Structure formats: C-alpha cells, structure tokens
Structure 1
Amino acid sequence: MGSGAENEAFAARLKELKERSGLSYGQLAKRLHLSTSTLHRYCNGDALPAEFTPADRLARLCGADRAELMDLHRRWLLADAARAS
C-alpha cells in the first residue's frame, strides 16, 4: 500500500467510528477540543494527526472497544510511517 492507501484506511476507520456514534462533526469536535474542520479532515483522509492522541480520544468517545483501539492505532502507525518515508 502507498502512503495514500494507509491514510485512507485510517480515515475510513475514524469515519466509521464517527458515524456509529450518531454525533455530528461539530458535537464531536467540541467534546474533543478540536475544530470541526480539523476533525472532518481527519475523517476524510485529507490530514493525519501528528500524534495518535486525538484519534484515540475520538475512538473512546465513540465507544470503541480495546480491539478497535488497537486496530486504529495500528492503522495510524502505518499511515504515519508512510508519511515519513
């Protein structure tokens, strides 16, 4: 997979969690202390968080279980490594 593919896989997982929560981008962004546009860029694959923390907080807020958190972290690591190369 190229760097775009890793980022897309990470973003797709974030978006799935967001949709499952039933909350809007605005509602989630407010609770996460992020701008709505930043959260939207993360979920659409237009940007990758520099650190995993915002994604972890989003996933927990959306009710992710341990396995989902581990999968999301793995996807972030792959996307971050691809970005660095």
Structure 2
Amino acid sequence: MRVLLLGLFFMMKPLLYLSLLSPCFSWAFCFDEAGRFYNVDPQLLKSLVTVESSLKPNAYNENKNKVGEVVSRDFGLMQINSHWFD
C-alpha cells in the first residue's frame, strides 16, 4: 500500500507544480467575468493578453526612440502604455 501511495505521489507531483506555476486556470474565470461585464468575447480578451504579454502579469516593456531614450513604458497583461497614466 505504501508503494502505491508513494508512486501516486511522484506521478502527481509534476501536475501539482504545473498547476501552481500556471495561472491560466484561474484567469479563465476572470476573462469570462470581464467579457460578460464589458460585453466582449472572452476568447478575444485572452487572445489579446496572450499576444501582448504572453500571459505574464508582470510584463514590462520600454519603448525607445532612435537615440535610445525611453519615451514610454508598457505594463501588465494588456501592456497599458504609460502615456495613459498622465
């Protein structure tokens, strides 16, 4: 019996790590709720987030001019530009 439980633990361990490291499951609910609230297709929201930030909530990007100076920054899942913060 212990061998069976130990084997089951080692089989489930990778799935546990994947579920903890992948927030996509919890976000599915958020996309549905936001889509319903704003009358937007949840698949469209998820597609935008996937393209903009690869589903990384802490995504950050700096936009530079030809000289290399930072002119604006993009933040978060939807990569909201710092221009809109002013």
Structure-2-length-normalised TM-score: 0.28
The structure whose residues are more often helix, as a share, is 1
More strand by share: 2
Q: Which has the larger radius of gyration?
A: 2
The structure whose RCO (Cα within 8 Å, separation 6+) is larger is: 1
Q: Using structure 1 for the length normalisation, give the TM-score.
A: 0.29
